Structure 1
Amino acid sequence: MPGQVTLELDPSLFGEREKRVAHSGKLVATAFRYKSGVAGLRVDNGAGTVTLLPFQGQQVWDAVFFGRSLTMKSMFDEPQPTRDYLRTYGALFLHCGGTSMGNPGPTDTHPLHGELPNLPHTDAQLVFGEDEAGAYLDLTGIARDAKAFHHDFVSRPRVRIREGATSLDMAVDVENRAGKPLPFLYLAHINFRPVDGAVLIDSVRDDRADATVRQPHLAQDEDEAVVAYHRAIAADPSSHRTLKAGVPIQPELVQTMKAAGAADGWTHALQRHPNGSGDFVSWRPDDLPYAVRWLTRGPDQDALGLVLPATAAPDGLAAATANRQIVWVAPGAAYRTSFRFGALDPAAANGLEATIKTIRGG
C-alpha cells in the first residue's frame, strides 16, 4: 500500500537488553529476549503497551490498557520455546487450528488445538502505515507447515496496533500449497482475565436453545464447590453470565454458542466490569460461526475466553468431521478472516452494550 514502510525483523535484533528498533509518532517498537530464549517485541502506542512473539505463533503475549493487563493469569511468567500447547500457555491471544483444532477426542491423535498456536515463523515484518482511521503498526510474517502425504499450508497472520487505540485488529490468511484440498479448522483463542462482579453480554438470544454446554470430566474427589457450580450451569446456563468472587470453575466451563449478527455482518461480546469499563470481542459469524466460551477460575489459571470465534466446535477433528464443520480450502486458494478485541472505557462499553442489545432484539 502507498505510504507503508516495512522493516524486516531479524532474530539477531533480539538480545538480553531491550532496545528500540523502530518508531513513528507515538508508535514505538522495542525488541528483547526472554530468559527462556523466546524473542519478544513490545509496542507502545500512546494508550498502552502490547507484547508480541514475532517468531512463535505471532502470539499476543500481553496487552496493558487503562493501567491494567487484559491477560489471563497463568503459571507462566514468560513464554517457553516449545510447540507443546500446555507447556507455554499464558498468552492473551493465540491462533489455533490448521488441520485440526480443539481438544482431541477419543479417536483423535492430533495435538491440542492443532499446528498454529506455536508455529515457528521463519520471517516477520513490522509495517508502519496510515489509513482513514489513522496511523498504525502491523506485525506480520510467514510460517509454513508441511507434512508429506498430508498437508502443506502457509500462514500469514497480522496484528494491527493503532496509535492511541485500546484494541487490536487481527487478520489471518492461510494458503493451501498442496495439490489437494486442505481440511482446515480455525479458532481465535482470546484469553482475558476475569473480573469479579463482571457481567458477560453477547448476542446469543437463548442460553438454553442457542448454547451447548460441554459436560466436564470431574474427579471423584472433586471439591464440592466445583461440583455445585457445574450443576448450577446444567440447571440454568444463563447463571454463568455473572462472575462471582470466590467461585471455583475447574477444570473449565466450555460452551459452544450461536451468536446473531448485525446487518453489517458483525457481532460482539462484552465483559462489563463493575466500574463500567469492559473487554470485548468483535467478529463475523459468517466467517466464524461458532462462538465458543471458555472459563476457568482457580489458583493456577484464571481465564475468560469471552468468545473464541471459530469455524467449528472445539471438540477435535473426528467430531468436526462427523458434524461437517471442516472448511475445505482448494489448492492455491486461501482461508481468510479478521476480527478485533481489546478494552473499552465506560462510555465505549455503554455504546457496545446498546449495539449488542439491538442485535439480540432484532
Structure 2
Amino acid sequence: MEEPTAKRIRKTSTGFENNTVESYENPMDSNIYLNYDILRIVFRYLNVKELERAAMVCRFWLKAANHEKYTRGPDCFIEHHLHFTDKTRFIEKSRIKPTIGFFFIPYKTLYGIHELIIKILPSNCSAVMLYTFGTIINERLELSDDTRVDDTEFRNIVCALLPEIADVKINSLILCTEYKQPGSLLVPSELLLEFQNHVRKLIDMIKETPIPNQDESTCFIYLCNDLCNEFIHLSKPLLKAVQEYSGIDRITSVWGGVMKWPLSTACFRVVLITGSIQSWSVVVDGRYTTEEQVTKKLRLFKNQVKLKKHSVGFIFSCLDRKNVLEKPDSTIFKTLFPEVSLVGCFDDKAVGKNTMDHEMGSRRDWEIDEQTTTFMLLTNHHTK
C-alpha cells in the first residue's frame, strides 16, 4: 500500500526563547495552486488551437484551459481576402472557437470566397456572409470604387466571430436560394408561395423562443439582397408579420439591412440569438444629419446600455447617408463606446428598431429605411 505523503513540520519563532509554534502543511498544496496560477498566465497567450491541445494533457490542464476559454469574448478583425486559404491566418490567430461568424465582404472580391470560409470554419460554426459596397471596423471605413481598375488593396474582409456561450442559442434560417452567380438571380413564379412557407417557418422558430427575462435577450438579425425589386417588397410584410407576432416583449433588438449584392447563397437570411446575453439596438435615420444630433441620439442610447465584460457592436449604414454627414456615424459611436469592437458595412437600406422607449413619443416599427444607420450591441459576462 502506498504510504501517504508526509507532512512537513514548520517551526515559527515568536521571538521568545522557548516558544515556537508548530504548524503542519502538505508541501504539494502550495505547488498545486502555484502551478494553476502559472498555467492561467501561460494560457492567456495561446490561440484556440494551442489551448485545445493543452487541454488534452491532463484533467488539471483541462480545468485551467476551460477557465481560460470562458474568459474570452468576441473576436473582431480585418483580413485581406487573399489570406482566406486552407491555412488561413485568421483561424490560426483566433483566440476563440466560434459558434457563428459574420463576414462583411467587398462585392468585388472573387466569387467563391464563401466556399473557402466555410471550409476552414469549425463544422458546427454558422457563417453569415454579406457582399457589400463598403466595410466598417471601428473607425476604419473602406468603400469599393467602381472607377478604379485594380482595387485589390481594398478587398479586405471584416470578420466578427462569436464564441460559444452557455445558455445562449443561435438559430439561422435561409429563406431563399434561387440564384447561381452574382447578377443572375432567378425569380420563380412560385416565389410568393415559397415566401409564405418561409414566413411560417420563421414564425414557428420564433414560437420556440421564450420571452426573455431581465437577464436575457433575443436579437433578430434580418439580411436580404435586392437584385430585383421583388425581394424588397416581400421584406416589408415579412418584418410586419414577425413584429405583430412577437410584439414588444419577445424580440429585444433588431438589426440588419438590404444589399444590392448577393448574400453568398441566400436571398433572405434571418438569425435569432437568444439566451443569457443583453442586447440593444438603435436607429439613426435621415432626421439626424449633424454630428451634434447624432451624438445626442447615441448618448441617450448609451445611457440605456449596461455593458458587461464582453461586448460587440454591429453597424449597417446606408450608402446615401455618408453624403449628408459631417462625421461618420461609426466614428461618433466609437467616441462614446471606445471599448466596444464595432463591425459592419455600407449598403442600400438599413433595418432596425429603437429599444429606447422615448423615441419621438412612441416605439418605432421595424422599417427598411434609406439614409439610415442602425446599430446593435451584444454584451455578456461569458462565464460558466
Q: TM-score scaled to structure 1, two decimals?
A: 0.30
The structure that has the greater radius of gyration is 2
Structure having the larger proportion of residues in helix: 2
Structure having the larger proportion of residues in strand: 1
